Structure formats: structure tokens, C-alpha cells
């Protein structure tokens, strides 16, 4: 199984390398932590990462501002993806899902301002709001897409049925569900994405495989002179050509380790051994 990281075209249009970067773990506070976060983001771009994932929920907008500070003006080949539909009613309050069209419209406008851009190429629903008709939630995003403020629309943490229903209203370019070598809960969603050519962005792509005391992962890692985290990413990349993992880290060393996983080659036999772990 000689699968390199390669590229994938989001929405059939925007080519990205199949190892992205999730910005959630980056510290946003000012001072040394922020400078370190900026260094990680810039190093990711230097290493060829072309998809960076953020969200309003990550620091309640501060993470988006961090990306803009680090990377604006954005390189032409870098796709910044962000997410909406989560709110914090008051400082310190728990996050709440909000899919009301007027709220989503305002969140998109605020994200455009924080990211210093006139168009968000990949705008994702962080969660669907069960209290609001799905057609209303996605309808406002389609209007913003028609206005040129959104390029492509994605979903997060959806079922196969929700994905099918959403596709009756908009063209879905990506799905971001939790999925990794040891957590296959959304296997059927990945299969649906693969069948439709929709990008599948697994969040938490490395944990818990990187820390699990699993003899098979350790054995394959030793055979390839790699880390457990790299093996977990290599398995994901080989799982389907629509998979675009977005591992996150606040460490340049871990970032470089993750990116290097794109060059690993699992043999058919190694992939089957790893695949069998999650099937047990």
C-alpha cells in the first residue's frame, strides 16, 4: 500500500495537501505563548501545509485573530477553514449550539473581519442545531455563498442521514467528524463521504492511538522507524483518498513529526494489521 499524503480538491476545486493543521491547541494569550503559536503557524506553511482549521469557539474568536496575525496576507495556496454555530452567552458560560439564520449570518461577518478576508473558502457548521430546521441553517449559508462571502460549505459531527439531508439544500464540500485508528464510530460517515467525493477531516486523528499501549501500533512503528502518532496518521491517509487529517499541536517538533508522516508507506500487510485493531 504505497499511499503518500498527496492532495485532495476541496469541493472539487481547491487543492490542499492531505495533511492539514488544526489550530485549536494553539495558545492565544499575548506574550511568549502567542509568539510561539505564531511560529508554529508559520512553520506549518513553510513545511507545505495548505489547510489550516480554526473556529470561533477556539478562544471565542481569538484563534481566528491569531491566524490572521501570523499569516495575513495569506499565501495563495493556503486554505483557512473556520466554523460557526457555537455561542457563549456570557464570559465563562458553557458553549451553546445556535443555528438561527441571523446568528449564523453575524458569525460569518465577524469571522470575515477577524480573518481579514472578504471570503471564507471553507465555512463549516461546528454543530447542527436540532432546534432550527436544517434547511434554514444551511439556507443562510447558501445565501452567503451566493453573495461571494463563502466559497464552500462543510459540516461537523453529523450522521449519514444528516449528511444526506444537508446535501438536498447545499453542496457539502467537507465533513469533520471524530475518527482515528482506535475510534471508528463514524466509519459509515466516512464511507458516505468517500462515495460522494466529499473531504473527510477527522478531528482528534492521533489520540488515543499515540498514547495507547497497543503492541501492533508499536510493532509497525518500530518496523518503519516512526512514532505511534505517525503510524496513526499514515493509517488514516491510507484509509481513503478523501481523508484529510488535521492534527493539532503547539510544538514545532510535533508539527514536523506530523508532517513527516505524509511520507510514510504502509505495506498492505501492515495496514491490515493496524486496521484490525479498530475492528476488535
The 3-class SS string of 182-220 reads CECCCHHHHHHHHHHCCEECCECCCCCCCCCCCHHHHHH
Closest CA to 234 of 271, 189, 190: 271
Catalytic-labelled residue, pool 58, 72, 74, 179: 58
Angle at 260 (CA atoms; ends 278, 54), nearest 5 degrees: 75
72 classed as catalytic: no
Task: Give yes or no for a contact between 49 and 77, defined as CB atoms under 8 angstroms apart.
Answer: no
Task: Give yes or no for a contact between 125 and 174, defined as CB atoms under 8 angstroms apart.
Answer: no
Closest CA to 107 of 130, 80, 125: 125
Gyration radius of the chain's alpha carbons: 18
How far is 128 from 162, CA to CA, in rounded Å? Answer: 9
What stretch of H or E contains 233?
helix 228-239
Active site residues: 58
Amino acid at each position: 500500500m504505497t499511499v503518500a499524503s498527496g492532495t485532495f480538491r476541496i469541493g472539487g476545486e481547491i487543492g490542499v495537501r492531505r495533511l492539514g493543521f488544526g489550530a485549536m491547541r494553539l495558545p492565544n494569550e499575548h506574550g511568549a505563548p502567542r509568539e510561539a503559536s505564531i511560529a508554529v503557524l508559520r512553520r506549518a506553511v513553510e513545511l507545505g501545509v495548505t489547510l489550516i482549521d480554526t473556529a470561533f469557539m477556539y478562544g471565542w474568536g481569538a484563534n481566528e485573530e491569531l491566524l490572521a496575525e501570523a499569516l495575513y496576507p495569506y499565501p495563495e495556496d493556503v486554505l483557512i477553514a473556520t466554523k460557526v454555530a457555537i455561542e457563549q452567552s456570557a464570559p465563562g458560560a458553557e458553549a451553546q449550539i445556535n443555528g438561527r439564520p441571523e446568528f449564523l449570518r453575524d458569525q460569518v461577518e465577524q469571522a470575515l473581519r477577524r480573518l481579514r478576508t472578504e471570503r471564507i473558502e471553507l465555512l463549516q457548521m461546528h454543530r447542527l442545531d436540532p432546534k432550527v430546521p436544517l434547511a434554514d441553517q444551511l439556507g443562510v449559508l447558501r445565501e452567503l455563498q451566493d453573495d461571494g462571502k463563502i466559497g464552500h460549505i462543510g459540516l461537523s459531527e453529523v450522521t449519514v442521514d444528516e449528511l444526506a439531508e444537508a446535501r438536498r439544500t447545499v453542496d457539502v464540500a467537507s465533513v469533520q467528524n471524530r475518527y482515528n485508528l482506535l475510534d471508528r464510530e463514524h466509519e459509515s460517515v466516512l464511507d458516505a463521504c468517500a462515495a460522494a467525493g466529499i473531504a473527510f477531516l477527522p478531528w482528534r486523528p492521533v489520540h488515543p492511538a499515540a498514547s495507547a499501549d497497543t503492541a501492533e501500533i508499536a510493532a509497525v512503528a518500530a518496523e518503519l522507524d516512526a512514532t505511534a502518532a505517525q503510524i496513526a496518521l499514515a493509517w488514516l491517509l491510507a484509509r481513503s483518498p478523501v481523508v484529510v487529517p488535521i492534527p493539532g499541536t503547539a510544538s514545532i517538533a510535533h508539527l514536523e513529526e506530523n508532517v513527516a508522516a505524509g511520507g510514510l508507506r504502509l505495506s498492505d500487510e501492515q495496514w491490515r494489521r493496524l486496521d484490525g485493531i479498530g475492528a476488535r
